[in-house]
Structures are given as structure tokens and as C-alpha cells.
Amino acid sequence: MKYILVSGGVISGIGKGVIASSLGTLVKSCGLRVTSIKIDPYLNIDAGTFSPYEHGEVFVLDDGGEVDLDLGNYERFMDITLHRDNNITTGKIYQHVINKERLGDYLGKTVQVVPHITNAIQEWVERVAKVPVDSHEQEPEVCIIELGGTIGDIESMPFVEAFRQFQFRVGRENFCSIHVSLVPQPKSTGEQKTKPTQASIRELRGLGLQPDFIAARSLLPLVPGVREKIAMFCHVPPNKVLCVHDCASVYQVPLLLASQDLINLLGQQLKLVYRTSHKPALNRWKELAYRFENATRSIQIALVGKYTKLEDSYISVMKALFHAGLACNCKVEITCIEADDLEPEMQENEPVKYHEAWQKLCKSNGVLVPGGFGTRGCEGKITAAKWARENKIPYLGVCLGLQMAVIEFGRSVLGWKDAHSQEIEEDTKKEHPLIIEMPEHNTGQMGGTMRLGQRKTLFKTEDSVMWELYKKPKFVEERHRHRYEVNPEFVKDLENEGMKFVGQSEDGERMEIMELKGHPYFVGVQYHPEYISRPMKPAAPYFGLVLAATGKLQSFLNNGCRLSPRQEMMSLEFSDTEEDIPHISETV
């Protein structure tokens, strides 16, 4: 097993996740099996109880693990399926050690950070690195480890010490350290400054880790002399100082690293034996980057959410839209709208915000209402669903978005003015609770108690757009994260008026997929299809939304769920040589 540690310095949010994902992509492109681990030094057991404004969205895995959003990057880039133990937190490690102490496993010894916590970290990494993460069910050969936070943080110290020991535990020939650091360029001088990177490396070396590579993050490509200066003061060869400047899209990052001979340098550093040429796989990324930057047309999708002030709150949703746009050779422009701003009260309190929000909504080619929790903004989401339904605008509701669409339909079409969700209103006297709490998940404890992870959804009819978009299967398996569901008591009434629940859980009790008859595309799903969307395999509900927004859905369905030859996605056949793609430049 080979281990690659990715750490970061100077500032947080520097791009370690994308760089770690890109490293895995490059190694996997050479025929090696890759896994990944993310370390978060906070005391929470997992990310499940975080507000999206804390660390961005909570990503959900097949096994129900609620983890950091970077694991979503790993899965999308490397096309792997990770597990809850691939996300290590300080809380998990301390809980593990304390449980062992209570069982008497330490034989009465004083339990300390060194060696007990640091040993637990090393053992966890070694154990998880061997768990298969792809369909072949074979043990991985390379493990990419991202150390969250910033070097110098107090909470990261036990992990840094653990990896100082780990490099000797596994052998230096099996361990590689890459440090991601910032090279700022102040407007006052226009110069690229290396001092922050020098200070960060000095801190890291003082803690016992000498980086083998430095990934220098900058606004623009490093100017001549800066790379050499970093190499000289940070004790690495100049060819191992990697320039990672801001790119037009994340799809260019693996190409940028490959253009600096990182594949060969990693091979030499870790004595890796590559099985295949990396060119076919990287040609796919070149094509993705080209399509993303040179789309022939664009559409606007209104994302009506509760946490739109932080883009990372909906990162998987946005990526799923971009993936669908790539498949349609179309650029998706996402317009974020705070759900509160669409509510009637806002017209009185802040009329400017109200009218701006409605102007954005009316200009959109499609509406997406994503998941969320709590009462705030729900009436705004209901209003957005009503506007999309009445004006025949393509609509996709995910999780809470499905539930709000059902409530709106009950109020407007069936005339149930008291239609509501028990999450919003607990008034038991009202006759039409269309959304109810799942009793088996009401344990009185917040963390990890929802309906989580991969579940099977059975199609109940073949008269369904979603069934066709999913390529006509008997069932689909998607990831869930919810406490509330559509009340099965009212399903028959809703279906009689045209709101069809074409996908249900295996026991038939849970409504999973909703379609509105007579509408170009009005779909709701209880699960989160964005979690398994990939750049070359877009999620069907998002793909349908983008197709409908471009006006191509019906022709796509009539054509047997195939795009026209000019629009055909390149995921089935790829070129094996650079020459086969003449329209893509050789440089990034």
C-alpha cells in the first residue's frame, strides 16, 4: 500500500480537496486502484448535525455516513464509492479510544494523546485504506489522505504527529507528502509572494514532516524565479514545486498537474508500477474541460434554497446540474434565490429584495428546489413550485422540494387550504397533513437518526418520464437523507388529480418519485440523486431538468433516450490518442 498525504497551509479552503481528488484521478488513470480518506480535526462525530453555513453541504454515502463534502469530490473525480470510515474526525478517534479504555483494553495504563490517540489514527488509516471502494471489490493500492484544516492549528496537532510516526511505520518508500500552500499576489505590488509558503513549510518541517511536493496555489501561473525560490527555501527540487493557479473549471486541475509531469514524479517517488497509459483517461478530462468552457448555448436554472449565501451549501446540486449540462453540450447558469425573498411578507418588509427575487425566477428556464430542514423559507419554496406548475416551467424538487410541491398541489388543485407538513406545523387538528414524520426515525437524538443511505426505489408504471430517463429499469438505488415523507393516506387523492407517484419504496409505503401529468417536466424525488452524479454519468432527474429547460426532452425521449450525434455524450467511447481530439489544445 502506498500513501499520499495532502496537507495545507496559510489559509483554509485553499483547494486541498480538488487537488487530492485530482491526484487520485491521475493515479487511477494509470490502472491502479485508489481510495481516499478525509481527516477533519473537529470534535463532532460526523458532519450530520452541521448547519450548511459551517462547512458547506453534508454529503451522504451509500452506507448512510454523513460526511464532509470533500468525499463528494473524491467520489465524483475518481468514480469510487466510499464508506463512513473514510471520514475521520477527532470525535471518532477519541470516542474509539475512550470506549477501549472503558473496556479495559489498555490494562490500567495512563491513556494519552501519544501514543494512544496517535496509534489509533494510524491503525484507522491502515484499516480503512484496505477496504475496496469500486465494483471490482479488490483492495486498493494507493490511498490519498487529505488532512483538513491548516498546519499550525492546535486541533490538527495529534494528526500531524501521527503521520510523523506513520512515515516510518510504513516506510518512506511507501509514503509521500504534498503540501498545498498559498502564493498571494497583492494588488499594491503585483508580485507573487513566497514568504507565506516558506513560513508554512517551516512550521510543517518543525513538526517532523518534510513535504516531497509543494502545490503552490496562485491566482495566475507562477512567474519565472518564484518556483526556484520556493524550492530553495523549502528544501524540495524545483520540478516538485507544482503550479496550481486558478483555472476556468475544476476539470482542468488533473490536466494541469499532469502537464507538470506529476504522474512520472509520483511513480519515481513511490516506486509505482503503472499498468496502463494515462492518455485515454486524460482525454476524457480534456473533452470535459473543452465542453464546459465552449458550450454552444446556455440556460438559467433558478435554485430556490435556504442557504444560498454559501455556494458550498449546494455544491453537489450544482455539480449535478453542470454534469447534466455537459451531457447536453449546454452551459448551465445557476441563479440562486433565497426562498424567503419570494414570500408575500417580503413584499411589505423589503420590496426591493422581493421584486429582484421574482425577476430572477421569471427569467429562468427551469426551477430547482433542493433539500433543507426547518420552517424558514418553506412558503417561498411552495410559491416557486406553484409558479413553475402554473406556467409550465420545468421543475425538479429534491427531498424537501418534493414535499413542498405536494403541499402546493394539495392547496391549489385539491382545495385543501390547510395542507401542511408536520415539520412546519404540528397542529394535529388540521385535516390534511400531507407530509408526516416517519415514526421509526423519531428517536429523540439528532445525529444519525434520519432515513440515511442507499435505498431501493421500485417503478410502479412504465408510463413515466423518469423510468425512461433511468433507461427503463425495474428499480433504482439512490441515497436518502430525510425524516419526513409524503403521507400515504392522501396518495390516492393526489393521483386522481394527476400527481402520479411512479416510484415507491419496496414496501410501497414511501413515495419516492413524483411526476405531474400534462406538464413538460414537473418531477419530485424524495432521495438525493446529486450524490451519485458523475461528470460522465449525470443523474437522471437533473439530466431531465436540463433537457426540458433546453426544450430537447421530448425529442430525446422520441429518439430512444439518445441525443443527436452532435450532442452525444462521449462517455461510451473515448479516443486513445491525443491526435484523435484535434480541437483540444495541448496545453492547459
Strands of the 522-525 sheet, one edge to the other:
330-338, 297-305, 366-369, 395-398, 522-525, 511-516, 499-505, 451-459, 475-482
- At 305 the pLDDT is 92
Task: List the single range of 253-257, 368-372, 489-493, 570-574 with lowest mean pLDDT.
Answer: 570-574
Of 56, 538, 28, 500, nearest to 288 (Cα)?
538
Q: What is the pLDDT of residues 104-131, one digit of tens each?
A: 998 889 999 999 999 999 999 999 999 9
Cell of 541: 432527474
Q: State how far the alpha carbon of 541 is from the alpha carbons of 180, 191, 205, 530, in Å.
A: 36, 47, 48, 9
Is residue 262's pLDDT more than 90? yes
- At 577 the pLDDT is 36
Q: What is the pLDDT of residues 62-99, one digit of tens each?
A: 999 999 999 999 999 999 999 999 999 999 999 999 99
Mean pLDDT, the chain, rounded, equals 90
Is residue 41's pLDDT more than 90? yes
- At 586 the pLDDT is 35
Confidence of residue 179 (pLDDT cuts 50, 70, 90): very high
**Beta strand 511-516 pairing with 499-505:** antiparallel
- At 13 the pLDDT is 86
Confidence of residue 478 (pLDDT cuts 50, 70, 90): very high
Q: Rounded mean pLDDT of 153-159?
A: 94
Highest mean pLDDT among 209-218, 275-284, 441-450: 209-218
Q: Write down the residue that cell numbers 479488490 correspond to.
A: 138
> What's the pTM value of the predicted model, to 2 decimals?
0.90
Is residue 583's pLDDT more than 50? no
Kindly state the percentage of the chain with pLDDT values over 90. Answer: 73
Can you tell me the distance from the alpha carbon of 485 to that of 445, in angstroms, rounded to the nearest whole number?
19
- At 573 the pLDDT is 35
Of 580, 563, 569, nearest to 536 (Cα)?
569
Of 234, 198, 267, nearest to 10 (Cα)?
198
Phi first, then psi: what are they for 420, rounded to 5°? -155, 175
Q: Which residues are catalytic?
A: 399, 528, 530
Question: How many degrees, rounded to 5, is the angle at CA 394 between CA 553 and CA 500?
Answer: 90
Cell of 161: 504527529
Tell me if residue 547 falls in helix, strand or coil.
helix
Radius of gyration for the chain, computed over Cα atoms and rounded to the nearest angstrom:
25
Task: Tell me the sheet residues that pair with 516.
Answer: 499
As a whole number of Å, the end-to-end CA separation of the chain is: 31
In sequence order, which ranges of 504-567 are alpha helices (DSSP H)? Answer: 540-549, 553-558
Whether the CA torsion 519, 463, 561, 533 is positive or negative: it is positive
- What is the phi-psi region of residue 457: left when phi exceeds 0, alpha when psi lies from -120 to 50, beta otherwise? beta
Is residue 7's pLDDT more than 90? yes
**Comparison of pLDDT for 253 and 508, the residue scoring more:** 253
Task: List the single range of 128-132, 234-238, 361-365, 372-376 with lowest mean pLDDT.
Answer: 372-376
Of 556, 575, 5, 564, nearest to 270 (Cα)?
5
